Structure 1
Amino acid sequence: MDTDVLETLKLALDGGGVTVPETGDVLFLRAEPGPAIPLLPKDRLTCQQTFKPPYEALAAMGLTLLPAGTETFTPAELTLILPPRQKDEARGLYARAMLSAPEGGVVLACLPNTLGAKTAEKTLGEIAGETESLSKHKCRAFWARKDSATFNKTLAEAWVAADQPQPVADGAMWSRPGLFSWDRVDAGSELLAECIPEDIKGMGADFGAGQGYLSKEVLLHCPKVKHLDLYEAEHRAIACAEKTLEGFENVTISWADVTRDVSETRYDFVMMNPPFHVGRADAANLGQSFIQAASRALKPGGSLYMVANRHLPYEATIKACFKQFEIIEDAGGYKIIRADRPKRQK
């Protein structure tokens, strides 16, 4: 999360227009560690987070956390939100916050201007009525007070209904707003599925499995696969993957950070379409950490199959982690890499 966003959120609470209530619960949706946390009453604060790394960071701070799958909330006098980028997902979060807020409760959110903060304030106003805001650090904090006379409950409920798991791509998978390539099959994943050999066998893993599309394709076309373990750090994808893979018994789906939570020397093969963005910027280190995790998770004779955008610089990391590799396909702006025989790090 952009530190400027967290600083601006702090300013809103520290004399900027939003008062931390002296009594009553405080709820922090999509919470992340940052300078606003110390301003909130720890004994009355409950945090919600669906992404595993910040969830674990908040837990390490001793904060109270809702189960990651929680989507209905008890009333809170103050609700803070760090909104997601995707429009329908963000609308669903604003709507859930306003629906659960008591009369007079405040919902406060903050975004960078470059991610449409002014538009986001208008979005909150569509269901809440009047909003207020402050701008600092090229970010905007904005808030609304629950007033049943102006609250558009019907629209809020419609926004919640739109932010639900649903079949997409003619039933090829289940998905929901905010997930990677949420309303269509990603072209890179589709190409990777086509390149995995049908005679692949044994124990496999899907790192960053998302909605489960890649795993489903492998299980449909590779009959010698004994079992697939799916690892996904975004909890909102878990229920979607479960629906996508409904009927397959040789799968296990885990909410996990693959860079930390995967057993070593377990798998005959690993496949992945690793994330490579932080905000709008490329972050090749994410994919590099996935490659390193795969090398640890594979058996000595195991293989990695991965897809990446052609420009991403993964080859040096693969060479450091595997004894051999090759680009087995290069098409449509994507490269498919197969790497064999992981090196054991000393």
Structure 2
Amino acid sequence: MAADADPALETLFLPFVEGRLAWPEGGVLFLRARDGWPLHRQPTHGLVCEQTFKPDADALQRSGLTVCNDGALADAADGELPAQGKRYPLVLLLPPRQRDESRALMARALDQCAPGGRVLACVANNEGAKSAEDDLRRVAGAVSTLTKNKCRVFWTTPRSAPPQADAETLIAQWRGLDRIRPVADGRLHSRPGVFAWDRVDPASALLVEHLPADLAGRAADLGAGIGYLGLELLARCPRITALDLYEAEARALELARRNLQPCGDRVALGFHWHDVTSGLPAAYDVIISNPPFHAQGRAERPDIGRRFIAAAARALRPGGRLWLVANRHLPYEAVLHEHFGAVRDVATRGGFKVVEAVRGR
């Protein structure tokens, strides 16, 4: 069971703790579920957790909870329910920060709420709680609210009270807000909610600009996102023979698979829904990475990048090369020098740094 404090998760369950709501018979769907002690302080029979972020999904499974991710991977433009196709008397939701993704997820929650059932959501105040509550009210009618832990939990029984006149139209629009679409002048496909979803982020662009053409052999992209770095590596380095993409967010990994599909007839491609911080299962000649430095919250997490670097060092063959881009202020130098025989700064621009590190022989 996760031990870290999670104010939003704790506040989400406040209506049940205070006796305002009862846990229903017939099953509960928890969208963007996270593990934590509030999930385990009272019986939660029939709970199905949906989570596409690998570390959170693994934590839920370690706690013995039922976990799926297939619903969130479906193209929202299809308007389909997850594979199980079930409607639930209660749908719990931790809406994401990205507004379009949040609204699309609310539409899904309403679609999967059984007649007479409830949708219940919680958002931190500094991540748009009031706006999220207003969004749910617009499409579902009257909303009840509690606040605690600098968070707001709000719930509704859809259509139990008249929603705004345009509610059905809005729900139909919101279903498709996170649909897959072309970005970057049509070169890539993306969707709201994934990292830098509608653009090529400047850090990745800086790394691509400095990738040397002599990189060769089996390569890996750690934290691959929608596949931009991998695609550029293959375009610029013709001696790469295989590429494995590791990504913790399944929604992004499915996009990477789509974006790199044209390269599959040239090199062997592997797509891995994987938490890089747990290590890598194979050996490589080249690793590229723009590692994340946030988890699911706003706080900086440089420890994630350090663990990416350590995992890369263990997976590289002697003489193997790591090409890394990161924010200049992130303290990665110590772990780089600890794990690699040679480290050099290649470029700095716009607050970012590109580093090459070579594993000693």
**Bin for the TM-score computed over the shorter chain:** over 0.9
**1:207-238 CA deviation, whole Å, 9 max, x = no partner?**
00000001111111211110110000000112
1:2 positional shift: 5.4
Matched, 1:292 2:310: yes
- Does the alignment pair 1:179 with 2:194? yes
Residue 290 of structure 2: aligned partner: 273
Alpha-carbon spacing, 1:207–1:342, altered in 2? closer, same or farther (3 Å):
farther
1:246 and 2:261 aligned: yes
Check the 8 A contact 1:26/1:46 in 2, yes or no: yes
Cα 1:132/1:42, change in 2 over 3 Å: closer
Distance 1:178 1:169 in 2: 16
Which secondary structure state, in structure 2, belongs to the residue aligned with residue 88 of structure 1?
A: helix
Conserved? CA contact 1:68–1:235, under 8 Å: no
Structure 2 residue corresponding to 1:220, chosen from 231, 235, 242: 235
Measured at CA, do residues 287 and 226 of structure 1 come closer, stay the same or move farther in structure 2, by a change above 3 Å?
Answer: same
Equivalent residues, number: 341
- SS of residue matched to 1:77: strand
How far 1:153 moved relative to its partner? 3.1
Give 1:41 shift: 4.6
Instruction: Answer whether contact 2:211 2:236 (CA < 8 A) is retained.
Output: no
The answer on 1:130 being equivalent to 2:142 is yes
Are 1:54 and 2:56 matched, yes or no? yes
Output the CA distance in 1 between the equivalents of 2:70 and 2:62: 15
SS at structure 2 position matched to 1:36: helix
Q: Does 1:205 align with 2:223?
A: no
Which stretch of the first structure deviates more once superposed, 317-326 or 273-282? 273-282
For 1:14, the equivalent position in structure 2 comes to 17
Equivalents in 1 of 2:37, 2:162: separation in Å? 32
What code does the residue aligned with 2:347 have?
A: E
Percent of residue pairs identical? 46
Q: Is the 8 A contact 2:125 2:152 kept in 1?
A: yes
TM-score by length of 1: 0.94
1:337 maps to which residue? Answer: 355
- C-alpha RMSD of the superposition: 1.8
- Choose the corresponding residue for 1:103, options 85, 104, 115: 115
1:36 Cα offset (Å): 3.1
How far apart, in 2, do the equivalents of 1:342 and 1:57 lie? 35
Return the offset for 1:16. 5.4
Deviates more, 1:65-74 or 1:177-186: 65-74
- Structure 2 regions of 5+ residues with no counterpart? 75-80
Distance 1:300 1:13, change over 3 A: same
Q: Show structure 1 runs of 4+ deviating over 6 A.
A: none
- Shift of the alpha carbon at 1:106? 0.6
Which residue in the other structure is 2:105 paired with?
93
Query: Which residue is equivalent to 2:77?
Result: none
* Matched AA of 2:118: V
Q: In the TM superposition, what is the alpha-carbon distance from 1:295 to its structure 2 partner?
A: 0.5
Distance in 1 separating the partners of 2:96 and 2:192: 10
What is the match of residue 168 of structure 2? 153
- Asked whether 1:263 is paired with 2:266, we answer no
